[in-house]
A and B are shown apart, each in its own frame.
Chain A
């Protein structure tokens, strides 16, 4: 290593070939290679398939916009799935905003030393497969299951019939994505300076005023990141509608799955995937353009 260092030191700066990659770029090459294979290549393949001849495997050998045209055909009801997915995602975000805010507030201001433990309780379910957790809820709500059986054992009428409905699908999504809303929101609230709240209170501001004028605006970047993350995850959710909802609703990601499996129509599935990806991508870029990441990360 010593020889190498001397050799470098003796090389005059102006003699270095300009086209050579910097040390940083060289070190990044393996990661760039990995990303190209693992991240970019599948996306390029999906893009290629989306313009391939319908029901074929002529990827990169054919070009047609038929797959996209079919999606916008008035007789195609795939828009129903898209609307349901958007609706579920919006409701999930709205419900989680209301549910997660008090918990995030508690983790920052109320729970004190117990905060760390309570945080772990919210993270813990993530260690268990989502499908397993959802099947657990099925056992809880199913006829003669945990809830229904217990209520009947207590001499009551039994549990409500909630399984296999759109409502239970929404419940499953709220349950699954709670941590993804909670932790960005907690981070956002943690960035609200305590002194500012105390100063406002000293100057006579009421609780609601402090919340509206100080806490909420300052925590907003965290809240918006949580909302964005939850929305993006929820719009692509399938398991909740399948396992808890009993496919009472066909969501858009399920339609994509059907195209790739039973329909044997990868080009159609790819076109749908591209369209959904562009929609989510545009939405994400729009939201991120409205966020001040510097402020969120506490750099000013």
Chain B
């Protein structure tokens, strides 16, 4: 105890409390006004990887913290619950920024003049003014786009051919012969969409009681027939081992790691037809990254959004750890040439354009709460 006096102990405690108060993840206020050297990102996996963040950390000397989650509602709830003062950037799927976060003032617009030129180098479908990057009235730029992909279901083409899967579409999950041979990805917002589609109903509208009754019957049957429900790793593992032949909710995003790992027989499928507007059978997603309406927003948020537009960083984002995905910046030849043949094959580049054309874009289900409650009840009946 010789080295510790009451004074040194109190000094140490004071320093500790001071350090805690200065932590970027605790509170806000004038003491935290200077945030030039810190950035907090709430995102899907990939943007939180060292490959993406370390060069930015080195070049700016900033402390960059990124937390990855695997569903949009949770991320948005974090902002709603008060973490708006914590985060600088939020990265979620297309409709949330425009339809939910901007009206709820959870995010703030970007400087159009600084970001508009980036859209000119993106793939043609993302040209300015790109719908999901803009506010509903088209006056504000509310986020930047990067990763995207079709997302319907995945098959082992050794067991169910690509042609059969595309022709039969979602009716595969209505086939009693396939009960016990498919899995369901634990991605409940997407599963709500897909149960509606399997029931032959467009998910992105208000549903009648009859349609909800059909949804319930379909949910009970589809969940009862599933061999397993699990995460992406579990789905790919079950496909590779032969435990299942296909799984619902999946696509480039989920199957690309397995394809890159030497299993090209596993393939994301976008059905040729379905009950979606225009007779389409698939759904696609596009990530939008926005600046949070943080009263003390880090100036690095804007810098980071520009940083990930660079061809080499965009390629790194596409192949960051976790999942591999196409990026809008592949429209830039300098970015596209960085992709090897194997990488293009992993993200199903050969059919990407046609699959996106056969898909409607991810949207919000107006009666999602009701449908999710029905689906959760159906899941409980599996046992």
Please classify the interface of chain A as helix (H, G, I), strand (E, B), loop, or mixed, using the class held by over half of its residues.
loop
Instruction: Report the number of A-B residue pairs with Cβ-Cβ less than 8 Å.
Output: 92
Give the docked Cα–Cα distance between A243 and B233 (Å): 10
> Which residues of the partner chain A approach B376 to less than 8 Å between Cβ atoms?
250, 255, 258, 263
- A115 CB-CB contact with B under 8 Å: no
**Given A138-B237, A247-B228, A250-B379, A258–B188 Cβ distance below 8 Å?**
yes
Enumerate B99-145 residues with CB–CB distance to A below 8 Å. none
- B340 CB-CB contact with A under 8 Å: no
Residue from B183, B186, B241 within 8 A of A142 (CB atoms) = B241
> Which residues of the partner chain A approach B6 to less than 8 Å between Cβ atoms?
1, 4
Are B230 and A84 in touch, CB under 8 angstroms? no
Are B234 and A246 in touch, CB under 8 angstroms? yes
> Which residues of the partner chain B approach A138 to less than 8 Å between Cβ atoms?
234, 237
Task: Return the chain B residue nearest A76 by Cβ.
Answer: B377
> Which residues of the partner chain B approach A166 to less than 8 Å between Cβ atoms?
383
**Given A57-B80, A144-B241, A250–B383 Cβ distance below 8 Å?**
yes
Please classify the interface of chain B as helix (H, G, I), strand (E, B), loop, or mixed, using the class held by over half of its residues.
helix
Cβ proximity bits A73-90 to B, threshold 8 Å, 1 near / 0 not = 000111011001000000
> Which residues of the partner chain B approach A135 to less than 8 Å between Cβ atoms?
233
Residue from B81, B188, B233, B380 within 8 A of A57 (CB atoms) = B81
> Which residues of the partner chain B approach A55 to less than 8 Å between Cβ atoms?
369
> Which residues of the partner chain B approach A242 to less than 8 Å between Cβ atoms?
186, 230
Q: Residues of A within 8 Å of B, CB-based: how many?
A: 36
Smallest beta-carbon distance A221→chain B, Å: 35
Are A143 and B383 in touch, CB under 8 angstroms? no
Give the docked Cα–Cα distance between A143 and B225 (Å): 19
**Given A57-B81, A143-B241, A145-B241, A250–B382 Cβ distance below 8 Å?**
yes
B interface residues with partner A (beta carbon < 8 Å): 5-6, 13, 71, 73-74, 76-77, 80-82, 183, 186, 188-189, 227-230, 233-234, 237-238, 241-243, 369, 372-373, 376-377, 379-383
Given contacts A248-B383, A264-B369, 9 further A-B contacts (CB under 8 A): A135-B233, A142-B241, A144-B242, A164-B228, A243-B234, A249-B382, A255-B380, A262-B73, A264-B77
**Complex A-B: 23 CB contacts under 8 Å:** A30-B13, A57-B77, A77-B380, A80-B380, A142-B238, A164-B243, A166-B383, A243-B230, A246-B227, A247-B229, A247-B230, A248-B228, A248-B382, A250-B380, A250-B383, A255-B376, A255-B380, A258-B188, A261-B73, A262-B188, A262-B189, A264-B77, A266-B77
